[in-house]
Amino acid sequence: MLDQHTPPLPETKPSSAEARALLRALRDPREQRSRLVVTSVAVLVWLGIAWWLWAICGWVCAVLTLIGIGVFAGTIDALSPHMVRTQGIRVGPDQLPTLYHAVTQCAERLQLTAIPDVYVLHETVWNAMAIWLARRRVVVLYSAILDGILTDDSAHQQLTFLLGHEFGHHVDGHLDRMHLLVELACLWCPWLRRWHSRHCEATCDRIGLYCSDSLSASLRVVAKLMVGAHLAQEVNPDAVLRDWQQMKHERRIWRYIRSLEHFPLLCRYVELIEAAAVMEVLGLSVAKE
């Protein structure tokens, strides 16, 4: 248990039919397709493994092994819970109010019944992550990326983009047991796993954009990841679009992209602009500023 005085969180999922419809609208259509493909492949792989186990050690062994794998898949912690609890600070109503304000805005926008625990850790890497920690849903923010964001006028919107992206991994089921089993089944084909992962990340960028309610602040975060906090405000979106248009049909570029679990930052920048236009058509408009 992370905190014996804190009851386990209810499931961090959108709380109503309306909220679930919102999540479906925000989901990148490519994620929907890739999820169908990887799930179908995973079913075949697990059936193959079950048949193989049945052939070599009988059905009791096969069932017990598969149940064991299923249980094991949901119990792996990406970080040490003790390290996070003792080296970091947990965000709350009376702790780090700037961040807590952003956390509550994301939860309201996504209509969540329960908010993941959010921790800040001192780290020089510009990163944030959504993870399970001691059977609780957690988002960890590294101090370096917060330092880069908090110097800006639009810091609040940038924080909500960052948090919204990480909340997106929780609410869209990217850390659910079934998703982990699908990923496990696709280990034999890294290309397939990375293809699906890229589209999951694209969905989370859309969710972050929706939470921030600001296209320019969301773009600023991606620009900071590319050129750092000081130069980000000078990044020209039109020049980025032009550069991407020139390179997006190059085979070598796509060979490189297929080796990644995220779309590259230039591509994410352009996709945020395109996502804002799509969301406007869907009635989920996001402020341009």
Of 10, 166, 153, 182, nearest in space to 78 by CA: 166
Closest approach, Cβ 128 to Zn ion, in A, equals 8
Count of chain residues binding Zn ion (CB under 5 A): 2
Closest approach, Cβ 164 to Zn ion, in A, equals 11
Asked if residues 150 and 97 have their Cβ atoms less than 8 Å apart, the reply is no
Closest approach, Cβ 110 to Zn ion, in A, equals 15
Cα Rg of the chain (Å, integer): 20
Q: Which residue stretch of 85-93, 185-193, 202-210, 214-222 sits at the interface with Zn ion (rule: CB under 5 A)?
A: 202-210
Closest approach, Cβ 55 to Zn ion, in A, equals 39
Closest approach, Cβ 127 to Zn ion, in A, equals 10
Closest approach, Cβ 182 to Zn ion, in A, equals 17
Residue nearer to Zn ion on the CB measure, 45 or 222 = 222
Structure tokens that stand for 149 in this block: 């964001």
- The interface mask with Zn ion, positions 158-197, x = CB under 5 A, is ----------------------------------------
Burial of 236 (0-12, 13-18, 19+ CB in 10 A): exposed
Asked if residues 110 and 23 have their Cβ atoms less than 8 Å apart, the reply is yes
Binding to Zn ion (CB under 5 A): which residues in 55-74?
A: none
- The interface mask with Zn ion, positions 113-132, x = CB under 5 A, is --------------------
Closest approach, Cβ 99 to Zn ion, in A, equals 18
Residue with tokens 């006028």, as numbered in its chain: 153
* Strand ordering across the sheet containing 128-133: 89-90, 117-121, 136-142, 128-133
Q: Which residue stretch of 73-81, 109-117, 156-164, 199-207 sits at the interface with Zn ion (rule: CB under 5 A)?
A: 199-207
Dihedral of alpha carbons 251, 37, 64, 130, sign: positive
Q: Which residue stretch of 14-22, 48-56, 204-212, 244-252 sits at the interface with Zn ion (rule: CB under 5 A)?
A: 204-212
> Alpha-carbon distance 131 to 226, whole Å?
24
> Alpha-carbon distance 55 to 44, whole Å?
16
CA distances from 47 to 35, 40, 54, 147, 261 (A): 18, 11, 10, 48, 26
> Which residues are paired to 5 by β-bridges?
none
Closest approach, Cβ 205 to Zn ion, in A, equals 8
Q: Which residue stretch of 59-67, 109-117, 176-184, 200-208 sits at the interface with Zn ion (rule: CB under 5 A)?
A: 200-208
Residue with tokens 């296209």, as numbered in its chain: 215
Residue nearer to Zn ion on the CB measure, 120 or 204 = 204
Residue nearer to Zn ion on the CB measure, 205 or 213 = 205
Residue nearer to Zn ion on the CB measure, 117 or 201 = 201
Residue nearer to Zn ion on the CB measure, 60 or 260 = 260
Residue nearer to Zn ion on the CB measure, 53 or 110 = 110
> Alpha-carbon distance 263 to 276, whole Å?
17
Interface ranges with Zn ion (CB under 5 A)? 201, 204
